[in-house]
């Protein structure tokens, strides 16, 4: 849910991705293909569209992005079709308007203010996959938060509003951001609310972020989380006798009311004579289901396109995917 990237007149960009879903708790995952296209019509207007295709599921999006004096505005509509394994068919629509603005005088960014309305039978791809697996999901009654609660409740999403505001502080003091998400649902009273406050800064060359979040579901259950993220860069090479290389090591740890909740450690960098290759590996662990995940990705910035491949393995299943991105001018 964000405003479309505004493109210069005559510039077009397309993305293609293919892979397999990774829906937590789902025993039967689904292959998919996803495509999107953007075109800069003029300095004011960018057109965009996209599609998601899978077995017994498809969704199509059409939209426009407007570069106005008061900020960037986008409007789009998505039509979805989902046929469940039990024969049930759901056809629905989702409409969104989003706004983005940066105030140079105060270094304030309204990163996103978006309103979305979804019809009762609208389904995302994640909804579709989960619905075909919900009867075989093995619920753990000891879990504080169960992924089944999210998907079963979220099928009935109706209205949602999200906003993000970030503010740069005086030099050396970093930045703060505040985000919120509000939702209500078809066929049920109450609503859900999410809030998150973050602070980011750097010391020497080490970057760090502290964030705190609080969630209230439609039954007024509360979930509090605190996250610490740190990123450390390493460089070598002088660009004379050897190419200069960049390597980043990062770690993200999340805590909840019961203490440690999850941890993710990652490593990323560049390679190639022109830094045309980007790579990354990561290892994560979640306390809730004692699941450990390892993954990696490789991106090749070729002259005519950007190619991406990824691999992910968990203690429960494996996921892989491929992506192609290309940006062209004047065609």
- Of 141-150, 194-203, 277-286, 298-307, the one with minimum mean pLDDT is 141-150
Q: Tell me which of 295 and 229 has the higher pLDDT.
A: 229
Predicted confidence at residue 320, as pLDDT, reads 60
Provide the mean pLDDT of the chain: 85
Model confidence over 109-122: pLDDT tens digits? Answer: 876 778 999 999 99
Query: Which tokens is 87 given?
Result: 């024969």
Cβ neighbours, 10 Å, residue 105 = 5
Q: What pTM was estimated for this model as a whole?
A: 0.78
Query: Which tokens is 160 given?
Result: 């949602």
Q: Tell me which of 69 and 59 has the higher pLDDT.
A: 59
Of 3-7, 215-219, 306-310, 324-328, which has the strongest mean pLDDT?
A: 306-310
Q: Which residue, among 166, 222, 230, 221, has the nearest Cα to 198 in the 3D structure?
A: 166
At 327, the pLDDT band (50, 70, 90 cuts) reads very low
Of 11-15, 45-49, 126-130, 143-147, which has the strongest mean pLDDT?
A: 45-49
Under 8 Å between Cβ of 269 and 276? no
Predicted confidence at residue 252, as pLDDT, reads 97
Asked if pLDDT for residue 323 goes beyond 60, the answer is no
Name all domains of the chain by residue range, CATH numbers in brackets. 11-326 (2.40.160)
Asked if pLDDT for residue 273 goes beyond 90, the answer is no
Asked if pLDDT for residue 227 goes beyond 50, the answer is yes
Under 8 Å between Cβ of 95 and 163? no
Looking at residues 173-202, what average pLDDT do you find? Answer: 92
Model confidence over 124-146: pLDDT tens digits? Answer: 998 898 888 877 765 555 444 45
Query: Which tokens is 174 given?
Result: 């970093």
Predicted confidence at residue 159, as pLDDT, reads 94
Under 8 Å between Cβ of 65 and 98? no
* List of residues 6+ apart from 144 with CB closer than 8 A: 223, 256, 257, 258, 288
Under 8 Å between Cβ of 267 and 284? no
Q: Tell me which of 10 and 26 has the higher pLDDT.
A: 10
Predicted confidence at residue 116, as pLDDT, reads 93
Looking at residues 92-119, what average pLDDT do you find? Answer: 87
Cβ neighbours, 10 Å, residue 38 = 21
Asked if pLDDT for residue 272 goes beyond 70, the answer is yes
Sign of the alpha-carbon torsion through 22, 160, 101, 328: positive
């Amino acid at each position: 849910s964000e405003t479309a990237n505004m493109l210069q007149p005559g510039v077009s960009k397309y993305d293609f991705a293919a892979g397999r879903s990774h829906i937590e708790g789902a025993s039967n995952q689904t292959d998919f293909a996803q495509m999107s296209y953007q075109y800069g019509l003029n300095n004011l207007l960018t057109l965009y569209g996209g599609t998601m295709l899978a077995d017994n599921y498809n969704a199509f999006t059409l939209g426009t992005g407007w570069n106005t004096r008061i900020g960037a505005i986008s409007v789009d509509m998505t039509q979805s079709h989902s046929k469940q394994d039990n024969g049930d068919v759901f056809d629905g629509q989702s409409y969104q308007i989003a706004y983005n603005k940066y105030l140079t005088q105060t270094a304030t960014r309204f990163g996103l203010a978006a309103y979305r309305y979804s019809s009762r039978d609208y389904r995302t791809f994640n909804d579709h996959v989960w619905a075909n697996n919900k009867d075989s999901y093995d619920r753990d009654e000891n879990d504080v938060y169960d992924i089944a609660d999210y998907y079963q409740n979220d099928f009935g999403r109706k209205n949602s509003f999200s906003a993000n505001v970030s503010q740069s502080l005086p030099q050396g003091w970093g930045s703060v951001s505040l985000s919120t998400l509000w939702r209500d649902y078809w066929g049920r009273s109450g609503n859900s609310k999410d809030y998150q406050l973050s602070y980011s800064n750097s010391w020497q060359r080490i970057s760090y972020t502290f964030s705190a979040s609080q969630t209230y579901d439609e039954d007024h259950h509360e979930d509090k989380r605190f996250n610490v993220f740190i990123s450390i860069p390493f460089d070598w090479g002088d660009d004379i006798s050897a190419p200069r290389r960049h390597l980043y090591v990062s770690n993200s740890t999340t805590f909840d009311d019961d203490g440690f909740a999850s941890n993710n450690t990652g490593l990323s960098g560049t390679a190639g004579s022109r830094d045309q290759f980007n790579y990354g590996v990561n290892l994560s662990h979640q306390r809730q289901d004692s699941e450990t995940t390892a993954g990696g990705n490789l991106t090749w910035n070729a002259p005519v396109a950007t190619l991406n491949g990824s691999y992910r393995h968990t203690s429960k299943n494996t996921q892989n995917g491929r992506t192609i991105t290309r940006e062209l001018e004047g065609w």
